[in-house]
Amino acid sequence: MVNSTYIQNRWNYTRPQAIAWADSYTTSGGLVIPDGTLEGEDFLILSDHNRSEISFSKQRLENKQRTISGSMRSYHIADKVNISWSWDMLPSRAYSEDPDYASTGIPQTPNLTEYTADNGAGGANIVKWYENHPGSFYMFLAYDRHDRYEDTVNPYNHLQQYNEVIEVMFSGFDYSVVKRGGSTHDFWDISVSIEEV
């Protein structure tokens, strides 16, 4: 099973990659983390390598009506979010070989060459996840929303954690092979649109 040590060892930096996908999630060591045993099958840690900004578009589900007095009344049901981003020139694979992650999250294959800047998923892994997930899955987001934590003593001390987990589905997915990279890997452009369930 994946635990907080595994996830923290997968991060090259003090903060996690901005986005991860998973079939389910759990908590370990006080962190909300993807659940499962196989990276690439049960969960996928996405690369920040040449990733664009993450765009959020809120959709308010409500029924608005004018009252007889001319004012407005709203029956609010929920707020849902649409999220989109893209990668430019993302390597088609993260490593030169299968990294064979140990239970600690550290690659066990010797002499690996890393192609993505942060060991996150390459283009082929992202396309495989899309093809294998026609239904819903969970998306983990790590960006500065200190207001999301219940820690009233030090809410600013959570940048190293995922601050939001949303059940989502794909609403759009496009990719193109931009450049063939010789005998090692290709470079892909990928665009993703996600909507909250």
pLDDT digits (tens, 9 = 90+) for 131-177: 999 999 999 999 988 787 777 678 787 778 888 999 999 999 999 99
Rounded to whole angstroms, the Cα distance separating 197 from 181 reads 37
Tokens representing residue 142 in the block:
């790590």
- Buried b / exposed e along 128-150 (16+ C-beta atoms within 10 A): ebeeeeeeebbbbbbeeeeeeee
Predicted confidence at residue 172, as pLDDT, reads 98
The domain segmentation of the chain, as residue ranges, is 4-196
Contact 49, 87 (CB under 8 A): yes
Q: What is the pLDDT of residues 131-142, one digit of tens each?
A: 999 999 999 999
For the chain, the farthest-separated pair of C-alpha atoms sits apart, in whole angstroms, at 74
- Alpha helices for the chain (secondary structure H): 4-10, 123-132
Tokens representing residue 30 in the block:
């006080």
